[in-house]
Amino acid sequence: MPSIFAYQSSEVDWCESNFQHSELVAEFYNTFSNVSFFIFGPLIMFLMHPYAQKRSRAIYGISALFMVIGLFSMYFHMTLSFLGQLLDEISILWLLASGYSVWLPRCYFPKFIQGSRYYFSCLVITTTMISTFLTFVKPTVNAYALNSIAIHILYIVHKEYKKTRNGDLRHLIEVSVILWATALTSWISDRVLCSFWQRIHFSYLHSIWHVLISITFPYGMATMALMDANYEMPGQTLKVHYWPRDSWFIGLPYVEIQDNDKSC
Q: What is the pLDDT of residue 187?
A: 96
Residue 262 pLDDT > 70, yes or no? no
For the stretch 11-51, pLDDT in tens is 999 999 999 999 999 999 999 999 999 999 999 999 999 99
For the stretch 195-222, pLDDT in tens is 999 999 999 999 999 999 999 999 999 9
- Mean pLDDT of all residues belonging to the chain: 92
For the stretch 110-152, pLDDT in tens is 999 999 999 999 999 999 999 999 999 888 888 888 988 989 9
Residue 52 pLDDT > 50, yes or no? yes
Residue 16 assigned to a binding site:
yes
Q: What is the pLDDT of residue 238?
A: 86
Residue 87, Cβ neighbours under 10 Å: how many?
18
Q: What is the pLDDT of residue 18?
A: 95
Q: What is the pLDDT of residue 235?
A: 78
Q: What is the mean pLDDT of residues 252-258?
A: 90
Q: What is the mean pLDDT of residues 223-245?
A: 89
Tell me the pLDDT band of 264, cut-offs 50, 70 and 90.
Answer: very low
Question: What is the distance between the alpha carbons of residues 92 and 77, in angstroms, rounded to a whole number?
Answer: 15
Q: Do 33 and 210 touch, CB atoms closer than 8 A?
A: yes
Residue 206 assigned to a binding site:
yes
Residue 197 assigned to a binding site:
no
Residue 1 pLDDT > 80, yes or no? no
Least confident of 162-171, 206-215, 241-250: 241-250
Tell me the pLDDT band of 233, cut-offs 50, 70 and 90.
Answer: confident
> The domain 28-257 is classified under which CATH number: 1.20.1070, 3.40.50, 1.10.238, 3.40.1180?
1.20.1070
Question: What is the distance between the alpha carbons of residues 217 and 179, in angstroms, rounded to a whole number?
Answer: 10
Question: What is the distance between the alpha carbons of residues 210 and 216, in angstroms, rounded to a whole number?
Answer: 10
Conformational region of residue 16, where left means phi above 0, alpha means psi within -120 to 50, and beta covers everything else: beta
DSSP string, 115-165: T-HHHHHHHHHHHHHHHHHHTTT-GGGHHHHHHHHHHHHHHHHHHHHHH--
Q: What is the mean pLDDT of residues 169-175?
A: 95
Q: What is the pLDDT of residue 263?
A: 41
CA-based torsion, 217, 223, 227, 232: positive or negative = positive
For the stretch 60-78, pLDDT in tens is 999 999 999 999 999 999 9
Residue 77 assigned to a binding site:
yes
What pTM did the predictor assign?
0.92
Least confident of 99-103, 139-143, 178-182, 233-237: 233-237
Residue 163 pLDDT > 50, yes or no? yes
DSSP conformation class of 94 = H
Calculate the CA 65 to chain-centre distance. 10
Residue 27 assigned to a binding site:
yes
Calculate the CA 98 to chain-centre distance. 11
Higher pLDDT, 182 or 246: 182
Q: What is the pLDDT of residue 2?
A: 64
